[in-house]
Amino acid sequence: MTEKVKQHAAPVTGSDEIDIGRLVGTVIEARWWVIGITTVFALCAVVYTIFATPIYSADALVQIEQNSGNSLVQDIGSALANKPPASDAEIQLIRSRLVLGKTVDDLDLDIAVSKNTFPIFGAGWDRLMGRQNETVKVTTFNRPKEMADQVFTLNVLDNKNYTLSSDGGFSARGQAGQMLKKEGVTLMVEAIHASPGSEFTVTKYSTLGMINQLQNSLTVTENGKDAGV
C-alpha cells in the first residue's frame, strides 16, 4: 500500500514585510526626541557659523606682454631649443625676495595687531555687536633685543590716546599720529578705530620670516601653456 504525503506550504504571515504604520507610530511617539536632537544640531551649526573665524583668500590675474614681432619664428625656435616659456622668469620674479621684501615693507606685514577677545566666543560676539572692524593702524614698531620675548599690549583710551605696556614691566602713554619713543621702544600709531577700553596685542615679526611665509602661501601658475596669463 502506498501512502501519499501531502505537503502544504506554510502560510505567509507577513512578518518580513515593513509595517509603515508601525514605523510612523514609533516616530510620532519619539517626536520630542527627534525635534530635540534636530534643534540641538541646528543650533550648533548656527553657533559655528557665527563664531567661526573667517578665512579669506585672494586671486589675481596677470597678463605678460610678449614681443609680437615674428612670433611664429620665435615659437618654432623656442620649441626646437627646448627653452622654457617667458612666463617662468616672471613667476620667479614675483616669488623673489626682492619683490616680496618690498611688499612686506610697504604693507607693514611684519607688524601684527590683533584684538584681545574672550577665547572661542569673543570674536563672534564682536561680530554680533558690530565691533568686528575695530582696528589700530600701526606702521612702526621696534623694540630692543632683550624685549623680543615680551608681549606688548595696546590699550585704547579714546580715539587719540592709548597706553602701551608689556608683561616685562614696560609702560608708556602715546598719541595717534605721534611717534612714541621710550626705553628703546618705538611705536607709530597712525589711527585708532576702536572703542575705549579695547585691547590689542602688538607683535613684531622678522622680515625674513614674513618673506618665507609669503613664499609658502603664494601660488603662481600659468593659465595654459605659453598663454602669457
- Give the tens place of pLDDT for each residue, 159-207: 899 999 999 889 999 999 999 999 999 999 999 998 898 899 999 988 8
pLDDT tens-digit series, residues 199-223? 999 999 888 888 888 888 888 887 7
Give the Å distances, CA to CA, from 42 to 27, 31, 46, 147, 229: 19, 16, 6, 47, 44
- The label of the residue with cell 614675483 reads 94
- Whole-number Å distance between alpha carbons of 126 and 134: 9
Q: Give the mean pLDDT of the chain.
A: 78
Question: pLDDT, tens digit, for every residue of 88-143?
Answer: 777 788 888 888 888 888 888 889 898 887 766 666 666 666 666 788 999 999 99
The pTM for the full model equals 0.62
CA distances to 49, 112, 116 from 52, in Å? 6, 20, 16
Task: Round to whole Å and give the CA distance between 84 and 182.
Answer: 54
